[in-house]
Amino acid sequence: MNSSPMTFKRKLANQDLRLTAHVCTIPSAIVTQAIASAGSDAVIIDMEHGAIDYSSAHAMIAATAGTSCAPLVRVTENDAAQVKRTLDLGAEGIVFPMIRSASDAKRAVASLRYPPNGTRGFGPFLAHSRWDTSLLDYREAVDDQIVCCLLVETRDAIENIEEICAVPGIDAIIPAQFDLSTDLGISGQFDHPDFQTAIAKVERAAKAANIPLGNVGLAKPQADALFAKGYRIIAGFDILWLKAIAAETQSWTK
């Protein structure tokens, strides 16, 4: 058996790299495979807001095989049982929603690692095949390669962001602009001073802790602006791209 080919954690550690991590909400291995084979550094299989169940998630994770695209899964909550199950499907990392405090972050990090470094239960009966290891070699091959990405999307997270960023084992942070603006009472008002102040606080804390930042970049000017501010990861959405191109082609008939 070969050693683990997981690479996204190392990519995140290389400060010279700009990366993509596109969100897949459509329960389709075909869509995921197309995005992966196009060269995406990662896909985020969205089990929180997408129409994706565990069977679909397994097929979507498997569809990234043979590419350099990391299959990450956004779980519905910071729950060790969910994390264990999605990692056992072969995920390379977890995107955690609604992280509000340093204790939440510590619990998230611990759920990714096997004892004595964490709390993950052992049973990678599917995952070991995805990563080309034997069942018993899987633990050693991947235990320090699993990616931990936190979503910052609440007032509490903003208030506690310095303490959150100080937790060891966090590989990336994404300010989730839709949820965050909604929790601030200014849903969708991304130019509002309160939202801009909150985002600036996250950016300062992540930079001080040397944690890569990600955000949504659906068009090149938006992506360029994020990169200019020091963001390392841009994300698109499969469903929004599909709807946008369908609307554009419909306009050709007018």
Question: Which band of pLDDT confidence, cut at 50, 70 and 90, is reported for residue 5?
Answer: confident
**Token code pair at residue 115:** 């004892």
Spatial neighbors of 186 by CB under 8 A, at least 6 apart, are: 192, 194, 195
Q: How far lies 28's CA from each of 3, 50, 53, 91, 179, in Å?
A: 28, 11, 11, 16, 25
pLDDT at residue 3 in the model = 45
Tell me which CATH code domain 8-153+213-251 carries: 3.20.20.60
Phi and psi at residue 252, in whole multiples of 5°?
-70, -15
Exposure of 235 by Cβ count < 10 A (0-12 exposed, 13-18 middle, 19+ buried)?
buried
| % of the chain at pLDDT higher than 90 | 97
**2 pLDDT exceeds 60?**
no
The string of pLDDT tens digits covering residues 10-67 is: 999 999 999 999 999 999 999 999 999 999 999 999 999 989 999 999 999 999 999 9
Mean pLDDT, range 110-120, rounded to an integer? 96
Mean pLDDT, range 85-101, rounded to an integer? 98
Q: How far apart are CA 109 and CA 170, in angstroms?
A: 7
* pTM listed for this prediction: 0.95
pLDDT at residue 4 in the model = 54
Mean pLDDT, range 224-241, rounded to an integer? 96
Domain ranges within the chain, ordered by starting residue: 8-153+213-251
**1 pLDDT exceeds 70?**
no
Residues annotated as catalytic are 49
